[in-house]
Structure formats: C-alpha cells, structure tokens
C-alpha cells in the first residue's frame, strides 16, 4: 500500500510539472498571433538548450514601441534577487519607485560634458592598446581580436568608472580581466545553472539562493568600490567618474526619497555599468574587425578616411572633432545593425492592456 501511495505521489508531481511546463503554450495562438511552435518546458524562449531564437518574429514595430517606450502600463521586467544575487539590484532591474530617482542622479554621467571630461582617460587606454598590438605584431603570431578588444574596454571601464588602472593589456594576471571573463562565460557551470534556474524555476532559485548565494563577484566588486570611496574621502581626491557620482549621492541620501540607499545598491550600479560597458563595446569592436576583414575594400577606405582625419588635425584626436569621422560612424552603426549586442528588451505589464486599433489584450504581469 505504501508503494502505491508513493507511486501516486510521483505521478501527481510529474503531471503538475507537465502542466506547469505547457500551460502557457497556447497563449499567443489563442490570440491569433503567429509564432514558433513551443518546445516542452522551454516554450519558445530565445535562451533554450537548442540555442534557437524563438520569440515572436512578426511584430508591428509601432505597437512594440507603443507598449515598451510610450505607455505607462509597462515596467522593466528585470527582478532583483536580494540575498541570492546582491549585484542584481542594477538600475535596469529596479522597480519604478527606485529606478526614477536613481536614474535622475546617474543620467548626468552620460552628458556631453561628462563624457568629454573622461575622453583623455580613454585616449590613455588607446595608447596602451596601440603598444600592445605592436608587440603582438612583432611576434608574428595570430591576434585574438576578441580578447584584445575585451582587454581594452576593461581598462577603459576600470579607469572611467573605478578610477584605477586595470592594466589588462600589460598584465596577463589582471584581476579585472579574470572577473570579466568569468562573468560572461556561458560555458561556466555555475553561470549556466543560475541562468537556467532564474529563467525557468525562479521560485526554487529564490529558495536555494539563501543556501548558496552568489559570492564570486559580490566580494570583489564590494571591496573595490567601498575601498575606492574610502580612499578618496580620506585623501580628499576628486575624479570625474562614476564612483564620484555615487559618493555624492551617498552623502545626500535624501535625494532618493523614501528609498534606502545601501552600499549593496551602490555596488550593484557599478557592477552593472562594468558588465554593460566592457562586454557590449568589446563585442561590437570584434564584430567590426570581422566585417572589415571580410570586406577589404571598406577596410581600405576606412583607413584612408582615418588618415585624412589625422592629417587635417595634426595627428591629434580630440573629442570635439569626432563628428567629422562620418565614415567611421557608418561602419560601426552597420555593425550594430547586423550584430546588436542586446538581443532582448523585456517588459512586464502592470495592468491589463489592449493595443490600439486592435482586439489584442494582454493580462496583468505578462512579460513581453
């Protein structure tokens, strides 16, 4: 009798699992929206075991813009994992109540004046990149453009955000580069396991997070950020970078309204800036190198345009004159069009919503 009860319990669990895995498969079909046929458990998620991109491909661009950008009935669908992943409390994952005041005080970082003030820091890293490439060419060995690009952007972000030299291009054992590799390594077991659980069994992941919290990156970034803040404050040092803006915000927590401004929240913003800055930029650089290698005529023309620019400005590269490099701008924009570094822009509805001029209604809390 006991065996029969155990067998019935196992069957009940399996049936519940099957229902959970397939209950939403007919959502878009019932609303007469065409799309790929869902796969068991994974549905048509773009992040699947098969690596198939399956999110609805037929979309009205105006309707998408209306829902994601213009309408107040949607919010960012990112979630913060609290104790499981303290660094997940990045600005793109915050709820509107915390996102708005934080964005208002971080937005000046991307102003023309602020970027211009950090331009010399970028040029210093570019000089190191040139020396590094010259050394590799002298060895007459194949050059890994992806790795070189990642080292360069890592040094730029470390300088502009943390105010320290990562020395990724000259130091093979650079801690910043090691951490950057580990963060973006989708073959690393813990990264894959956490990603799958976060996507498909979020409730279970939230429970397990209290037992096995993320510690690989949290300790490193917390130490770097808090030590940098403490050192600058004690030695009265000012730098026009991201850390400085967070220090000013920390000294005036009333700017965040009723939201509590913790060290963990500040470190999470730096972590998000680091990952978004170095990975997307290095990927775009790598893809641009690849396309230029496939199209030597465009490569030759781009080189000619760059040489003409330097000849015109006496070999100097200034922020004010960058807009003159129009062909260079076109090359990178075409690279971004062919290889967008951000494949998904998820949003979650916060109320039932009917798209304009249609009969399509989506329920509350649906993630798009």
CATH number of the CATH domain containing 196? 1.10.630.10
Tell me, yes or no, whether 324 lies in a domain.
Answer: no
User: Tokens 């990603």 correspond to what residue?
Assistant: 195
CA distances from 106 to 80, 102, 157 (A): 19, 6, 16
User: Once rounded to an integer, what is the mean pLDDT over residues 237-255?
Assistant: 78
Q: Alpha-carbon distance 34 to 29, whole Å?
A: 6
The conformation of residue 73, written as its DSSP 8-state character, comes to: T
Count of domains observed in the chain: 2
> Lowest mean pLDDT: which of 13-27, 173-187, 240-254, 270-284?
13-27
Tell me, yes or no, whether 107 lies in a domain.
Answer: yes
Could you tell me the pLDDT band of residue 56, with boundaries at 50, 70 and 90?
Answer: very low
Verify that 151 and 18 share a domain, yes or no.
no
Cβ atoms of 243 and 163 within 8 Å: the answer is: yes
Rounded to 5°, angle at Cα 260 from 258 and 262: 165
Which structural domain range is residue 287 located in? Answer: 78-294
Verify that 15 and 125 share a domain, yes or no.
no
Radius of gyration of the chain (CA): 24
Cβ atoms of 328 and 307 within 8 Å: the answer is: no
Cβ atoms of 119 and 160 within 8 Å: the answer is: no
Verify that 159 and 21 share a domain, yes or no.
no
Verify that 107 and 236 share a domain, yes or no.
yes
Percent of the chain whose predicted confidence (pLDDT) is above 70: 76
Could you tell me the pLDDT band of residue 218, with boundaries at 50, 70 and 90?
Answer: confident
Verify that 241 and 94 share a domain, yes or no.
yes
Read off the tokens for 30: 């019932």
Could you tell me the pLDDT band of residue 27, with boundaries at 50, 70 and 90?
Answer: confident
The conformation of residue 357, written as its DSSP 8-state character, comes to: T
Q: Alpha-carbon distance 322 to 126, whole Å?
A: 15
Q: Alpha-carbon distance 198 to 260, whole Å?
A: 26
Q: Alpha-carbon distance 351 to 133, whole Å?
A: 53
* DSSP 3-state of 347: strand
Which residues, listed in sequence order, are joined to residue 74 by a DSSP beta bridge? 349
pLDDT at 186 over 90: no
Query: Is the full-model pTM beyond 0.85?
Result: no
3-state secondary structure 177-199: HHHHHHHHCCCCHHHHHHHHHHH
Verify that 214 and 290 share a domain, yes or no.
yes
φ, ψ of residue 313 in degrees (nearest 5): -110, 25
Which of 72-86, 101-115, 131-145, 165-179 is the most confident on average? 131-145
Could you tell me the pLDDT band of residue 43, with boundaries at 50, 70 and 90?
Answer: low
φ, ψ of residue 157 in degrees (nearest 5): -65, -40
Give residue 158's pLDDT: 85
pLDDT at 226 over 80: yes
The string of pLDDT tens digits covering residues 1-11 is 577 777 887 88
Tell me, yes or no, whether 304 lies in a domain.
Answer: no
Verify that 88 and 205 share a domain, yes or no.
yes
């Amino acid at each position: 009798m006991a065996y029969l009860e155990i067998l019935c319990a196992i069957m009940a669990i399996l049936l519940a699992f099957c229902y959970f895995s397939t209950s939403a498969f007919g959502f878009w079909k019932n609303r007469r929206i065409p799309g790929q046929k869902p796969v068991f458990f994974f549905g048509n998620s773009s992040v699947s075991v098969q690596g198939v991109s399956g999110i609805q491909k037929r979309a009205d661009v105006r309707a998408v813009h209306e829902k994601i950008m213009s309408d107040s009935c949607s919010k960012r669908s990112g979630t913060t994992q609290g104790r499981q992943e303290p660094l997940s409390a990045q600005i793109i994952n915050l709820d509107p109540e915390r996102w708005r005041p934080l964005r208002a005080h971080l937005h000046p970082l991307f102003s023309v004046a602020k970027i211009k003030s950090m331009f010399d820091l970028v040029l210093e890293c570019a000089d190191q990149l040139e020396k590094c490439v010259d050394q590799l060419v002298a060895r007459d060995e194949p050059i890994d453009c992806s790795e070189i690009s990642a080292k360069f952007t890592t040094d730029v972000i470390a300088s502009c955000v943390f105010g320290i030299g990562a020395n990724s291009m000259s130091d093979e054992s650079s801690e910043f580069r090691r951490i950057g590799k580990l963060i973006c390594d989708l073959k690393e077991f813990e990264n894959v396991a956490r990603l799958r659980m976060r996507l498909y069994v979020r409730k279970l992941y939230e429970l397990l997070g209290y037992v096995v919290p993320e510690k690989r990156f949290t300790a490193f970034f917390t130490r770097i950020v808090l030590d940098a803040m403490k050192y600058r404050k004690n030695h009265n040092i000012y730098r026009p970078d991201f850390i400085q803006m967070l220090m000013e915000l920390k000294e005036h927590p009333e700017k965040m309204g009723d939201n509590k401004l913790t060290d963990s929240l500040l470190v999470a913003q730096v972590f998000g800036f680091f990952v978004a800055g170095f990975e997307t930029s290095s990927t775009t650089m790598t893809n641009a190198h690849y396309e230029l290698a496939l199209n030597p005529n465009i490569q030759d023309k781009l080189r000619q345009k760059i040489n003409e620019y330097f000849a015109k400005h006496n070999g100097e590269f200034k922020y004010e004159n960058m807009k003159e490099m129009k062909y260079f701008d076109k090359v990178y924009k075409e690279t971004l069009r062919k290889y967008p570094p951000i494949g998904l822009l998820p949003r979650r509805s916060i109320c039932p919503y009917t798209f304009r001029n249609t009969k399509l209604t989506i329920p509350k809390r649906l993630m798009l």
